[in-house]
């Protein structure tokens, strides 16, 4: 208790923050939401454009069916209720990279509402409500160049104009920057599992705006919020929110008032700056998009989409703990991506001991990956390789020490375990049992009472002997060999 009180003093115990996040996720469709232009990232500027996404007069939008399916699937994964009928609306504003002068979005009738996801907060779980998930098109991209050497130009690339997005709006249920970070991590994980986006933040496939206010602890009404726009990493969002809490508490404590405004985060300085206030804020003049019919996702279509929903990370972790006798911590690492979890499960099913496979990932793989600065997806040793090595140790063919050496070689040469094992001529640990036999003989001689019990039929005493032998050999003895020799010598 003392520790938590001290922590909240640091954050200003008189005040508590209230946070709601708006996350934009780009859907992985091959073509744009209202035309058949490619969504491919990194093509030459303005090469993937047509009259529709250039906003030329008279061009008509045609809705991309796949975008609807992806958006619906994501909304389902976020436990939302799907509205059978939703309405596209025009959100009007002027911006150089918005050629139509409006963005087609959804407003009072979004695709989905009333969802929630679970996050972990200090050992327990907490539900964060999802207000809505709606479909919209992205705008183009302005590139500001040469401002440092005053040869200023702003170029506009409209390749991104009309790329399908979903916007995921959370309830103001998030109570700290750490919770915000955890929410974003879980949200991204779920979206990645559904496969509807690559959530690549560098390419802008996932963007986050943070809304934040503070209020005196215990007060029911929310304080005035500010919105921190377009922060491009989860770490920066957390920092920006931390900064905003301090700043807002400072303003209030010195008798000032928070103005509702949009702020930008400068990650180099670790500060936010006011960009535009509520008075200048946009009045978007939303109205129903006249060129598109209401979107109807009926019960039959919803069922078809729901049938493609994969097992989601949280459920998968629980099942893997039960199926393979691994720990929560194991499961956390092994479900980092869907591909990794799939690989682990395929390997674990074929392995003699799934638990040993999981143990090796934690004890031998993770440290080596960290030392090389690699993500687990980039590991030279595949899950199949880990499983193969686990089997070799399990059968007594190689020792724990040999496994470590082979792993070192695999990382040195950038090759999978099985390749290294072959290259090294399928090494085997010595079957010379004389040293082990000597240890066992000594232990048998030193424990006549347990020997007697064993010979009187209490076979479980063998566990005691195995323990003693392992201890005497400092864990180096091969368990299979120990068991075999003990059975021979005791029996
Ligand atoms: P706006 O009309 O300014 O866009 P919304 O009501 O649509 O505001 O909410 C946008 C986001 O801000 C949501 O994630 C919501 O949970 C969050 N939010 C709303 N009010 C507050 C507040 N007072 N403090 C913190 N977050 C808030
Ligand atoms: Zn187009
Ligand atoms: Mg809003």
Please indicate whether residue 391, judged by its CB atom, sits closer than 6 Å to ligand 1. no
State whether CATH 3.40.50.2300 applies to domain 433-490: no
How many angstroms separate the Cα of 2 from the Cα of each of 7, 17, 30, 152, 262?
Answer: 9, 20, 54, 55, 36
Indicate if ligand 1 lies below 6 Å from the C-beta of 48: no
Range from 34-48, 110-124, 181-195, 343-357 carrying the lowest mean pLDDT: 343-357
Residue 394: pLDDT over 90: no
Residue 20 near ligand 1, beta carbon < 6 Å: yes
Strands 261-266 and 226-231: parallel
C-alpha torsion angle, residues 269, 272, 209, 173 (rounded to 10): 110
Which region among 18-22, 59-63, 464-468 has the lowest average model confidence (pLDDT)? 464-468
Q: Give pLDDT, residue 480.
A: 77
Mean pLDDT value of segment 388-395: 91
Closest to 441 in 3D by CA, of 474, 478, 468, 475: 468
Separation between Cα atoms, residue 312 and residue 302, nearest integer Å? 18
Q: Which helix (H) or strand (E) holds 278?
A: none
Neighbours of ion ligand 2 (CB under 5 A): 35, 37, 50, 52-53
Consecutive H or E run containing 256:
none
* Phi, psi for residue 294 in degrees, rounded to 5: -55, 145
Phi, psi of 153 (to 5 degrees): -140, 150
How far apart (Å, rounded) are the C-alpha atoms in residues 333 and 329? 7
In sequence order, what E strands does 15-84 have? 15-26, 81-82
Which sign, positive or negative, has the C-alpha torsion 229, 82, 182, 220? Answer: positive
Q: Whose CA is closest to 27, among 170, 191, 190, 181?
A: 191
- The Cα 102–Cα 99 span in angstroms is 8
Closest CA to 245 of 63, 10, 490: 10
Check pLDDT > 60 for residue 120: yes
* Segment among 34-38, 278-282, 303-307, 317-321 with least mean pLDDT: 278-282
**Is pLDDT above 90 for 479?**
no
Digit-coded pLDDT (tens) for 46-74 = 999 999 999 999 999 999 999 999 999 99
What average pLDDT does range 470-474 have in this prediction?
83
pLDDT for 9? 44
CA 404 to ligand 3 center in whole angstroms: 54
pLDDT of residue 7: 43
Contact (CB, 8 A) for 260 and 278: yes
Ligand 1 atom nearest residue 21's Cα: 14
- pLDDT reported for residue 278: 61
Q: How far apart are alpha carbons 181 and 212 in whole angstroms?
A: 14
Nearest CA to ligand 1 atom 8: 211
Asked whether 314 and 118 are in contact (CB, 8 A), the reply is yes
Does ligand 1 have an atom closer than 6 angstroms to the CB of 31? no
- Note the pLDDT of residue 436: 84
Cα(33) to ligand 3 centroid in Å equals 21
Those residues with Cβ within 8 angstroms of residue 384's Cβ, 6 or more apart along the chain or in another chain:
343, 346, 347, 416, 418
Query: Which DSSP state fits 293?
Result: P
24 half-sphere exposure, CB direction, 13 A CA radius: 20
pLDDT in tens, 90-112: 999 988 999 999 999 999 999 99
Helices (DSSP H) in 288-431: which residue ranges? Answer: 299-306, 313-324, 328-334, 338-350, 354-360, 366-372, 383-394, 400-413, 417-423
Helices (H) and strands (E) in the chain — how many of each?
17, 16
Ligand 1 site, residue 22, Cβ cutoff 6 A = yes
18 touches ligand 1 (CB under 6 Å): yes
- What are the residue boundaries of the structural domains of the chain, listed by start? 4-303, 313-423, 433-490
Q: Does the pLDDT at position 13 exceed 80?
A: no
pLDDT > 50? residue 207: yes
């Amino acid at each position: 208790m003392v520790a938590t009180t001290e922590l909240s003093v640091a954050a200003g115990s008189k005040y508590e923050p209230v946070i709601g996040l708006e996350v934009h996720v780009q859907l992985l469709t091959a073509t744009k939401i209202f035309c058949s232009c490619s969504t491919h990232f990194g093509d030459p500027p303005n090469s993937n454009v047509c009259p529709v996404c250039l906003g030329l007069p008279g061009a008509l939008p045609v809705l991309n069916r796949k975008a609807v399916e992806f958006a619906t699937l994501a909304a389902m994964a976020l436990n939302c209720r799907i509205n059978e009928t939703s309405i596209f609306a025009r959100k009007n504003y002027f911006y150089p990279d918005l050629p139509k002068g409006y963005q087609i979005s959804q407003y009072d009738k979004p695709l989905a509402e009333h969802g929630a996801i679970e996050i972990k907060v200090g050992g327990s779980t907490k539900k964060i409500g999802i207000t809505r998930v709606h479909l919209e098109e992205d705008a183009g991209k302005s590139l500001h160049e040469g401002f440092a050497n005053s040869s200023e130009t702003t170029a506009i690339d409209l390749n991104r104009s009309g790329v399908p997005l979903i916007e995921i709006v959370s309830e103001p249920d998030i109570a700290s920057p750490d919770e915000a970070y955890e929410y974003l991590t879980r949200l991204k994980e779920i979206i990645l599992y559904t496969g509807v986006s690559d959530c690549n933040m560098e390419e802008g496939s996932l963007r986050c705006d943070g809304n934040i206010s503070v209020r005196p602890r215990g007060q029911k009404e929310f304080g005035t919020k500010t919105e921190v726009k377009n922060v491009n990493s989860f770490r920066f969002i957390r920092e920006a929110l931390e900064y905003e809490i301090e700043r807002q508490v400072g303003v209030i404590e010195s008798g000032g008032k928070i103005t509702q405004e949009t702020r930008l985060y400068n990650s180099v300085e670790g500060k936010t700056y006011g960009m535009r206030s509520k008075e200048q804020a946009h009045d978007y003049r939303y109205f129903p998009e006249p060129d598109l019919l209401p979107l109807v996702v009926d019960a039959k279509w919803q069922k078809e989409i729901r049938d493609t929903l994969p097992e989601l990370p949280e459920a998968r972790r629980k099942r893997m703990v039960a199926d393979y006798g691994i720990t929560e911590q194991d499961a956390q690492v092994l479900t980092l991506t869907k591909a990794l979890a799939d690989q682990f499960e395929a390997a674990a099913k074929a392995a003699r001991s799934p638990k040993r496979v999981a143990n090796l990932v934690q004890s031998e793989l993770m440290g080596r990956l960290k030392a090389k600065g690699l993500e687990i997806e980039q590991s030279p040793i595949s899950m199949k390789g880990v499983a193969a090595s686990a089997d070799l140790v399990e059968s007594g063919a190689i020792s724990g020490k040999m496994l470590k050496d082979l792993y070192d070689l695999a990382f040195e040469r950038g090759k999978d375990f099985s390749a290294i094992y072959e290259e090294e001529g399928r090494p085997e640990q010595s079957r010379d049992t004389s040293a082990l036999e000597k240890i066992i003989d000594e232990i048998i001689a030193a424990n006549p009472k347990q020997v007697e019990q064993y010979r009187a039929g209490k076979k479980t005493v063998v566990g005691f002997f195995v323990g003693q032998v392992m201890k005497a050999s400092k864990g180096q003895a091969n368990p299979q060999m120990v068991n075999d020799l003990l059975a021979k010598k005791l029996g």
